[in-house]
Structure 1
Amino acid sequence: MDYQQSWQGASARTQSRVDFIRSVYLWLMGGFAVAALGALSAPFVAAALIPVAGRFLGWVLFGVQFGTLMFASSVSRRKPLNRLAYGLFTFVSGVIAGIIALVIAQGAGFVPVFSALGLTGVVFLTLTVTAFVSKRDFSFLRNFVMVGIAVMFFGGLAAAIFHLQTFSLIISGVAVIACSAKLLWDTSAMLRTDDLGDPAGFALALFVSLYNIFISLMNLLGGRRR
C-alpha cells in the first residue's frame, strides 16, 4: 500500500510539472504571437506617436516598455490581470522591435533582421535542449548574469545618450552572452522549481531574454552592414 501511494504521489507530481512546463511555453508562444502583432503595427504606431513625441519617441517607448514590464512582473500570479499585463508588455516590445527592424532595414536591408530572428531561434532551441538533457542546475551563472545585465543596461543607456555606435555594438555582444546565460539559468530553474504556481512569471523571464538577444543580434548584424 505504501509503495502504491508513493508511486501515485510521484506520478501526480510528475504530471503537475509537465502541465506547468507546458503552460510556461504556451504563455511564451502567446507572447511571441502578440509581439508579432506589435511588430506589424509598428509603422502605424510610430506614425501616430512621432508628431507627439518627436525625437523623444525612443525614450517614450522605452519608458512604456519598462513600466509594462514592472506591471507584468508584479501581477504574474493574479488572474486574469496577468494576461492583460503580459499582453501589454509583449505588444509594446513587438512595436519597438518592429521599429528597430525598419530602421536597420533602411540602412542594411532585411537580411540582418531575418538573420537575427533565425539565430535567436537557434540559441533558444540549443539552450533549451541543453537544459532539458543535462538536467543541471545552472544557478551558478547568477553572478555572471547579474553583472552582464548591469553592463548591458547602463552601457546601453550610455551608448544611446552619447550616440556611441561602436560602443553600442560591444554592449550588444555583452547582451547576447548575458541573456543567453540567463535563458539557460531560467530554463533550469523552471525544470527544478517546487513553485508551480507562476507559469506567467517564468514565461516573462524567458521572453525578456529572447527579446534582448534578438534586438542585440539585429544591432550587431545591422551595424556591421551600415
Structure 2
Amino acid sequence: MTTWNSAPYPPPDPNQGYYGGQQGYPPQQPYPGAGYPNAPPAYPAGPQGYPPPGQPPYGQQAYGQQPYGQPGDGTYTQPDMYGTSYPEDPDVKGFEFSDKSIRRGFIRKVYVILMGQLLITAAMIAYFLYDKSARIFVRNNSWLMFVAIAVVFGAMIALACCGDLRRKAPMNFILLGLFTFAEGFMLAVVASQYQVDAVLMAVGITAVICLALTLFAFQTKWDFTMCGGFLFVCVIVLLVFGLIASIMAATGNGNRVVNLVYASLGALLFSVYLIYDTQMMMGGKHKYSISPEEYIFAALNLYVDIINIFVYILTIIGAARD
C-alpha cells in the first residue's frame, strides 16, 4: 500500500520578494525562453516586487535593455509580451530615401541617363539640319512620322502605367531608348523646318533656362511637389488653347500674336514642371518624392520637360522672325 508523504514544504523565505514561496509552494522559476533566465533586475525591487516611485514601467529597461530608439534609425527595438526586444528587420524597413548616399546615387544615375538622351537628340537634330538628303527623304516618306508618333505614345504609356515594366532591366532601358530615338526623330524633323541659327539660338536659351531652373530647384525653400494637381489642370487648359489656335490657323484666322502667347505660356508651364520634377527627384525635405527605384521614370520626366521647353522657345523665335 502506497503512502503519501504528508510532510509540509519548508516555509517561504521572506527575502525572495515577489517570487518567494506562497502558502507552502516552492519558489517559482523565471519563465523559460523569455530571454532573460536568472538575469538580475535593472532596478531594485520595491514594495511587493513593484518598481519604486520614479522608475520606468516594466519592459523598457528591464534586465539591462536599452530604451527604445526611433523607427528607421537602426536602434529601434520592439517589445514582445514578455518584455524582451528584438532589432527592427532590415528587410521590412526597406530603403530610407532620406539617406544622403542613396539620394546622391539616385540623382547621379538620373542625370547620366538624361545626358545620354539629350546627346542622342542633339545628334539627330544636327544630322537633319546639315543633311539636305535626309530632309528630302522624310518629306517623301511621311509615314515615318506616324510610326514615330505611335512609338512615342506606346513607349510613354508603357513606362508611365506599368510600374513593374519600368523597374525591370533591360526592358526599361529598351523602352526608354525607343522613346528617345522616336522623340529625337520627330524633333529633328520639326527643327529642320527652321533656319540653323534659330535652332542654335533656341538650344542655347534652353540650356541656360534649364540650368538656372535646376539650380533654383536645388536651393530654394519653396516646395513645388505639392503643385502636381494644379500643373495638370494647366496642361489641360494649354492643350485646349493649342487646339483652338490650330483650328484658327487652319481656317486662316490665326495670327502671330496668338502663336507667341501660346508658346510663351507653354514655355512657362514646362519651366515650372522642370522645377517640380527636379524636386520630386531630390526627395529629402520635400513633401513628395520619387522612389530610388524609379530612375527611368525620373529621367523620362526631366527629358520631356526640357524637350517641351526647347520646342516652345523655338516656336517663339520662329514666330518673332516670321
Does the TM-score normalized on the shorter chain lie above 0.5?
Answer: yes
The alpha-carbon deviation at position 47 of structure 1 amounts to 3.8
Deviations 1:20-79 (A, max 9, x none): 01011111111112212332444666544433437xx76664444333322343442221
2:259 paired with 1:172: no
Q: Deviations over 1:90-147 (max 9, x none)?
A: 2222222222222121xxxx33212211111111111111111125421233243212
Larger deviation, residues 62-71 vs 171-180: 62-71
1: distance between equivalents of 2:158 and 2:234? 23
- Between 60-69 and 30-39, report the one with greater CA deviation: 60-69
What code does the residue aligned with 1:223 have?
A
User: Sequence identity of aligned pairs in percent?
Assistant: 28
Cα distance between partner residues in 2 of 1:71 and 1:82: 9
Mapped contact 2:260–2:319 kept (Cα < 8 A): yes
Native 8 Å contact 1:169 1:223 kept in 2: yes
Structure 2 residue aligned with 1:189: 280
Write out aligned runs for 1:54-93 (5 A).
61-73=148-160, 74=162, 75-93=165-183
Shift of 1:217: 0.2
CA contact (8 A) 1:152 1:172 kept: no
Change (3 A) 1:84 1:161: farther
Counterpart mapping for 1:73-222 below 5 A: 73=160, 74=162, 75-105=165-195, 110-163=196-249, 164-166=254-256, 167-192=258-283, 193=289, 195-222=291-318
Cα-Cα RMSD: 3.0
What is the number of residues matched between the two proteins?
218
The structure having more radius of gyration, on CA atoms, is 2
Check the 8 A contact 1:148/1:175 in 2, yes or no. Answer: no
Structure 2: runs of 5+ lacking an equivalent = 1-65, 76-94, 284-288
Q: Name which structure has the greater RCO, CA cutoff 8 Å, separation 6+.
A: 1
Asked if the contact 1:25–1:203 (Cα under 8 Å) also holds between the matched residues in 2, the reply is: yes
Inter-CA distance 151–112: structure 2 relative to 1 (3 Å threshold): farther
Native 8 Å contact 2:172 2:296 kept in 1: yes
Which residue of 1 is the match for residue 118 of structure 2? 32
Which structure is higher in helix share?
1
C-alpha change, 1:60 and 1:162, in structure 2 (3 Å) is farther
Letter in 2 for 1:30: G
Q: SS state of the match for residue 312, structure 2?
A: helix
Unmatched tracts of structure 1, length 5 or more: none
Q: What SS does the aligned partner of 1:196 have?
A: coil
Q: Check whether the contact 1:76–1:200 (CA below 8 A) recurs between aligned residues.
A: yes
SS class of match (2:142)? helix
Choose which of 20, 25, 30 in structure 1 pairs with 2:106: 20
Supply the distance in 1 between the matched residues of 2:246 and 2:155 (Cα, whole angstroms).
21
SS at match of 2:272: helix
